[in-house]
Structure 1
Amino acid sequence: MADEQQVNGAAQGDAQAPQEQAFAIQRIFTKDVSFEAPNSPQIFRQEWKPELNLDLNVKNTKLEDNTYEVVLKITATNKVGDDVAFLAEVHQAGIFTVADSIEEAQRAQLLGAFCPNILFPYARECLSSLVSRATFPQLNLAPVNFDAVFAQHMQQQQQQAAQQEADA
């Protein structure tokens, strides 16, 4: 019975042309991690009224046909007064396959918003772990709407292009 199913499965596979996968995750990995607590141990003796500054950056690189590396960089700087309590940085990366059949605007959306949405939970966990291992209070980052960030970025690029045309 099992042999019959395999034969039938093979026959069906031969009858249908293989379909190209439009999008696939090949690998997710931590590319770089950095943590500094330049004012320790004195910072632990101060009253904890932190000011958190969070910086997000997304970069993508074409590795080969249909294959891209997307890197989400998160830098968290936490200050107490004028003293830096900690500076933590995570570069969370992924290798993604994006088919040629996807139009350029949709490819930009995938690489600039969809892929960072996939990478963010990994980066958030890594950052939280770094901070807690240094015995600072828990750092819980709120979700980020990368679709809105990407839309804002595209709008800024369009405004800059329009400004350059007006200047020319």
Structure 2
Amino acid sequence: MADESNNTPVFQIQRMYLKDLSLEQPNAPQILLEQTQPQVDINLALAAEPVSEGFFEVSVTATVTTKVGDKTLFLIEAKQAGIFEIRNLPQEQLEGIIGIVCPQMIYPYLRAVVSDVCTRAGFPPVILSEVNFQAMFEAQQAQREAQGAVN
């Protein structure tokens, strides 16, 4: 633990873990005989919340939906999380670390989990592409500012 009496900035990973994992193959085994190239849809979501004073849980969730026509081949939802100790930072720096740095650290683990689950389910791995979390964060900030201007 850091000594809270000084104001030295603190940023440490406390733990990285797989928080949630789901695999569904609702149309197996019949759909496994299909020879058609599947459509893959990937959605990412970020979440962060304080756990206790100076500790934050940050998570990145990937939802991978693969369909052949209108039938689901498989659906994977994986949530990778980390607990980070972050102290003595100005609010704008804190938001940047939680919205950019922490997800960048978590994301490689999430990519590995999704790829591994696909392989274990009997499919070629789905490799999640690299994500520019800084661009995502800046877009969210701009959207928030625009909504604030409208209200």
TM-score range, shorter chain: over 0.9
Higher strand share: 2
Q: Name the amino acid aligned to 2:58.
A: V
Q: Which residue, 139, 142, 146 being the options, matches 1:159?
A: 146
Give 1:97's aligned residue. 85
Give 2:10's aligned residue. 22
Q: What is the aligned-residue identity percentage?
A: 35
Equivalent positions of 1:108-147 (< 5 A) are 108-147=95-134
- The SS at the match of 1:38 is coil
Q: Which runs of 5+ in 2 are unaligned?
A: none
Report the CA distance between 1:52 and its aligned residue: 1.0
Q: Which runs of 5+ in 1 are unaligned?
A: 1-16
Higher helix share: 1
Report the CA distance between 1:59 and its aligned residue: 0.7
TM-score by length of 2: 0.92
Q: Which residue, 28, 31, 44 being the options, matches 1:40?
A: 28
Between the aligned partners of 2:9 and 2:135, the Cα distance in structure 1 is 26
TM-score by length of 1: 0.83
- Compute the RMSD of aligned alpha carbons: 1.5
Whether 1:150 and 2:141 are equivalent positions in the alignment is no
Between the aligned partners of 1:106 and 1:20, the Cα distance in structure 2 is 14
Between the aligned partners of 1:163 and 1:125, the Cα distance in structure 2 is 41
Between the aligned partners of 1:113 and 1:51, the Cα distance in structure 2 is 29
Aligned length: 147
Q: Name the amino acid aligned to 1:57.
A: A
- The SS at the match of 1:47 is coil
Give 2:19's aligned residue. 31
Q: Name the amino acid aligned to 2:130.
A: P
4+ aligned runs moved over 6 Å, structure 1: none
